[in-house]
């Protein structure tokens, strides 16, 4: 392992974790991954090696299992940073079975905080979500925007985790960064890895691409009577590789000791909101495929509209978006077509 360049990623074989591993490896870091494959695929480590030409180690274990977690970390004394992705993330599932979300998402975070203290790992980046803002009273939302009541148990787990980290930071020597993602979409440009939903997808873009490819006969747009420009919910979509790069920049910011506090929050969004119907039309333009969808009832847990004020990440982390909505849709469609060739379900 490279001295001072080893990063632990939890959930490193998941959607955002795997793309972040690629960015880190390509920027000269070594990566150790922990993933239990409950929500990811076992072929991902080999795909990461293929894309980067670099070694990639994944340990198959659950971050809620403290003895096994401690055993892995003790074998890698050179770790200087943790990026904690590992979490259940389905809004709908969290509404149906909230206890597994509180159990998994909170306990894994507590364990990682204890591990960072125990092994003197100085830098910690936490994967949070714009869902913590709830139905915000102002748009775009800033990092200091007042938090409304979260709309789902998933969102609550992210907000509670943020609060735990904030309180822990007061008496800790660790540097913490919270990254609040808006809506990561798309896939790596090679179409070698991308988002693979488990069961019926709840996120919009996999619903779109699975319908276009024929895996689904149709999909449902949940509500067209919201107080928005076309009645459908508005979200802020960001290419997953742009999200991935922000993690590398956050670590570099901490490593270079340019932070002024040991606890900081950054929004990761494009700063522009697209409605569900606008995203559908963008995909139809890129793919040439007419989508079969119907309008359904509103879905519990969905906020009406949320998009980011991202000036802080731009100014402090020097994060710049490199991919637009067309590239998001094109890469997602290329990945879906690749999945069909490989018959991965």
At 343 the pLDDT is 57
Mean pLDDT of 32-59: 95
Mean pLDDT of 145-169: 94
pLDDT, tens only, 193-215: 999 887 777 788 999 999 999 99
Tell me which of 154, 181, 226, 253 is the catalytic residue: 154
Cβ contact 123:255 at 8 Å: yes
* Nearest-angstrom CA–CA distance, 13 and 11: 6
* Nearest-angstrom CA–CA distance, 129 and 178: 9
* Nearest-angstrom CA–CA distance, 340 and 193: 13
Partners of 275 in beta bridges: 234
pLDDT, tens only, 244-259: 999 999 999 999 988 8
pLDDT, tens only, 64-88: 999 999 999 999 999 999 999 999 9
DSSP string, 233-258: -EE-EEEHHHHHHHHHHHHHHHHTT-
Which pLDDT band, with edges at 50, 70 and 90, does 4 fall under? low
Q: What angle do CA 23, 161, 275 make, to 5 degrees?
A: 65
At 1 the pLDDT is 47
Query: Could you confirm whether 154 is annotated as catalytic?
Result: yes
* Nearest-angstrom CA–CA distance, 150 and 303: 9
At 345 the pLDDT is 47
Q: What angle do CA 175, 178, 182 make, to 5 degrees?
A: 160
pLDDT, tens only, 284-294: 999 999 999 99
What would you measure as the largest C-alpha separation in the chain, in angstroms?
56
What is the domain partition of the chain in residue ranges? 6-186+237-269+308-321
At 136 the pLDDT is 81
User: Is 6-186+237-269+308-321 in CATH node 3.40.50.720?
Assistant: yes
Q: Please, what sign has the CA dihedral across residues 252, 257, 258, 264? A: positive
* Nearest-angstrom CA–CA distance, 125 and 143: 16
Q: With 70 as the cut, is the pLDDT of residue 20 above it? A: yes
* Nearest-angstrom CA–CA distance, 35 and 58: 7
Q: With 80 as the cut, is the pLDDT of residue 344 above it? A: no
Which pLDDT band, with edges at 50, 70 and 90, does 304 fall under? confident
* Nearest-angstrom CA–CA distance, 186 and 324: 10
List the single range of 151-160, 238-247, 301-310, 319-328 with lowest mean pLDDT. 301-310
Structure tokens of 338?
A: 């690749």
pLDDT, tens only, 207-237: 999 999 999 999 899 999 999 999 999 999 9
- Which carries the bigger pLDDT value, residue 58 or residue 90? 58
* Nearest-angstrom CA–CA distance, 204 and 325: 14
Q: What angle do CA 189, 193, 198 make, to 5 degrees?
A: 135
The candidate with the shortest Cα–Cα distance to 111, out of 119, 123, 100, is 119
CB atoms within 10 A of CB 157: 28
* Nearest-angstrom CA–CA distance, 26 and 201: 30
**pTM of the shown model:** 0.94
Cβ contact 264:177 at 8 Å: yes
* Nearest-angstrom CA–CA distance, 245 and 298: 34
Averaged confidence pLDDT in the chain: 93
At 19 the pLDDT is 98
Q: With 90 as the cut, is the pLDDT of residue 129 above it? A: yes
Q: Any residues with CB less than 8 A from the CB of 103 and at least 6 apart, and which?
A: 64
Q: With 90 as the cut, is the pLDDT of residue 174 above it? A: yes
pLDDT > 70 fraction of the chain, expressed in percent and rounded? 98
- Which carries the bigger pLDDT value, residue 241 or residue 136? 241
* Nearest-angstrom CA–CA distance, 210 and 214: 6
At 3 the pLDDT is 55
Q: With 60 as the cut, is the pLDDT of residue 55 above it? A: yes
The candidate with the shortest Cα–Cα distance to 339, out of 196, 185, 240, 189, is 196
């Amino acid at each position: 392992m490279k001295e001072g360049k080893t990063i632990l990623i939890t959930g490193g074989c998941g959607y955002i974790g795997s793309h972040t591993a690629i960015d880190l490896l390509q920027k000269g870091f070594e990566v150790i991954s922990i993933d239990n494959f409950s929500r990811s695929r076992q072929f991902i480590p080999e795909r990461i090696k293929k894309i980067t030409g670099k070694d990639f180690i994944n340990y198959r274990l659950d971050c809620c299992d403290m003895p096994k977690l401690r055993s892995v970390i003790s074998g890698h004394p050179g770790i200087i940073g943790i990026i904690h992705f590992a979490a259940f993330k389905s809004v709908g599932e969290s509404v149906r079975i909230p206890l597994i979300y509180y159990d998994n998402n909170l306990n894994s975070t507590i364990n990682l905080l204890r591990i960072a203290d125990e092994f003197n790992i100085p830098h910690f980046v936490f994967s949070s979500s714009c869902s913590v803002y709830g139905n915000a009273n102002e748009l775009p939302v800033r990092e200091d925007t007042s938090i409304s009541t979260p709309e789902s148990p998933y969102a609550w787990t992210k907000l509670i985790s943020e609060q735990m980290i904030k309180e822990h930071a007061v008496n800790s020597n660790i540097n913490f960064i919270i990254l609040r993602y808006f809506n990561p979409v798309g896939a790596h440009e090679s179409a070698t890895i991308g988002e693979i939903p488990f069961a019926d997808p709840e996120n919009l873009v996999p619903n779109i691409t699975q319908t276009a490819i024929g895996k689904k006969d149709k999909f449902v747009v949940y509500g067209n009577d919201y107080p928005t420009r076309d009645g459908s919910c508005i979200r802020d979509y960001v290419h997953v590789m742009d999200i991935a790069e922000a993690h590398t920049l956050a670590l570099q910011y901490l490593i270079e000791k340019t932070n002024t506090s040991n606890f900081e929050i950054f929004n990761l969004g494009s700063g522009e909101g697209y409605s569900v119907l606008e995203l559908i039309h963008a995909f139809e333009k890129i793919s040439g495929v007419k989508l079969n969808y119907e309008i359904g009832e509103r879905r519990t847990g969905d906020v009406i509209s949320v998009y980011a004020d991202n000036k802080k990440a731009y100014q402090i982390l020097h994060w710049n978006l490199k991919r637009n909505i067309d590239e998001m849709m094109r890469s997602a469609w290329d990945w879906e077509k690749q999945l069909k060739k490989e018959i991965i379900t």
